[in-house]
Chains A and B, each alone.
Chain A
Amino acid sequence: MGIVTSVSVWLIPSFILIVLLVASWKKVPAYETFVEGGKEGVKMAFSLLPFLVGMIVSISILRASGAMEAFIGLIAPLLSLIGIPPDIIPLALVRPISGTAALGMTTELIQTHGPDSFIGRLASTMQGSTDTTLYILTVYFGAVGIRKMRYALKVGLLADVIGIVASIIVVRFVFG
């Protein structure tokens, strides 16, 4: 753990250090260049705003209505037949659409079942091994104005399904 966390903690400051050293060495006007690049960030954040509002509101409507829970309740018995624990199903379904909701669910699962339980380990692995497809799609394509996404969403969602199934199999195999 010690090495792992210190690599993560040291990485960003070290990267900044190298960038600034090389820039100064090559006589790049570091501060002015930084400000020029930073200006883009402001514009970008504002152009992202409508994309995020649209997507997040739609997801919230679905969750607040209770439709999602009802759907989970409907398919839970079916999925537990093939060895998927019912407690993990909400997380598996939410992971691709909402990052904050998934993180909340992971925390709750770890809290209720304990971090070293089967469910706790599975939730941890699932949270780490896939990412929020819908958010990434919204942000990356939204920021640069891509309208026709072609097969991008299909690829992202299929990879999520495989990631979730893989988590279940791997955790079951490793921790029993």
Chain B
Amino acid sequence: MVNLIWAGMAIIGIVYAMLAGTMDKVNEAIFKSSGEAVTLSIGLISVLVFWLGIMRVAEEAGILRILAKGFRPLVSRLFPEIPKDHPAMGYILSNLTANLFGLGNAATPMGIKAMEQMKQLSGTDTASRSMITFLALNTSSLTIIPTTVIAIRMQYNSVSPTEIVGTTIIATIISTTSAILIDRFYFYRSNRRGK
């Protein structure tokens, strides 16, 4: 499906540009955006190196295990396939915590580590049930405090920059709960089909 979306976006864009005469803009976008993507990846190095370093220390010091133990009841219900005390649990928790506080920069490296651990558990290049649940949680956003948005609102002189925290939390709860339910629905459906 991702192949279809990826090719589809480019195909629709190019065909539309042929008809609308915007080919020069498309041409420019191809080279400019690939440059931007490289800048983004290079920019990720700093965050990845720092956080993966710190997280390795946390793992060696046993902090991830303690974290995983504390929240075990809740998280093991969401991820029934992951053995208790497995390092994946610790990384999942660190990722979820960072997300809750709107620390996207710290959340990404921990999320990747969590994925890596889950891949070791499944041992294939097919997404496992836990991976998809984890992805669903991340894509629906778990942010309680949308720091970036508050900053933008302050910049444009909002009377009350934080007044949207309440609506954001409600909308987030709805979208995250739905994500979990949709994830479960597709899991049981694909199970019934025997995939």
Contacts and interface: CB of A to CB of B under 8 A. Distances in A.
B135 A60 contact: no
Given A143-B116, A153-B5, A128 B168 contact: yes
Interface in A35-80: 35-42, 44-46, 48-49, 52-67, 70
B103 A67 contact: no
A65 B22 contact: yes
A116 B153 CA distance: 9
A interface, size bucket:
35 or more
Contacts of A7: 101, 145
Contact of B148 (A37, A103, A126): A103
Contacts of B167: 121, 125, 167, 170-171, 174-175
Given A38-B49, A133-B139, A144 B115 contact: yes
A30 B134 CA distance: 29
Interface residues of B, number: 105
B17 A23 contact: no
A74 B145 CA distance: 35
Interface string B31-52: 0111011101110110111111
Interface in A128-173: 128-134, 136-137, 139-141, 143-156, 158-160, 162-163, 166-167, 170-171
Given A7-B101, A124-B153, A128-B172, A57 B1 contact: no
B102 A8 contact: yes
Interface of A: 1, 4-5, 7-8, 11-12, 15-16, 18-20, 22-23, 25-26, 28, 30, 33-42, 44-46, 48-49, 52-67, 70, 96-97, 103, 106-107, 110-111, 114-116, 120-121, 124-134, 136-137, 139-141, 143-156, 158-160, 162-163, 166-167, 170-171, 174-175
27 contacts: A7-B145, A30-B57, A33-B56, A38-B53, A41-B52, A42-B48, A44-B52, A44-B109, A45-B42, A57-B10, A59-B9, A61-B29, A65-B26, A115-B153, A115-B161, A124-B149, A125-B168, A128-B149, A140-B134, A144-B115, A146-B115, A150-B190, A151-B190, A154-B1, A154-B186, A156-B135, A174-B166
Interface of B: 1-2, 5-7, 9-10, 12-14, 16-17, 20, 22, 25-26, 28-30, 32-34, 36-38, 40-42, 44-45, 47-58, 60-63, 101-103, 106, 108-109, 111-112, 115-116, 119, 125-127, 131-132, 134-136, 138-141, 143, 145-150, 152-153, 156-168, 170-172, 174-176, 178-179, 182-183, 186-187, 190, 195
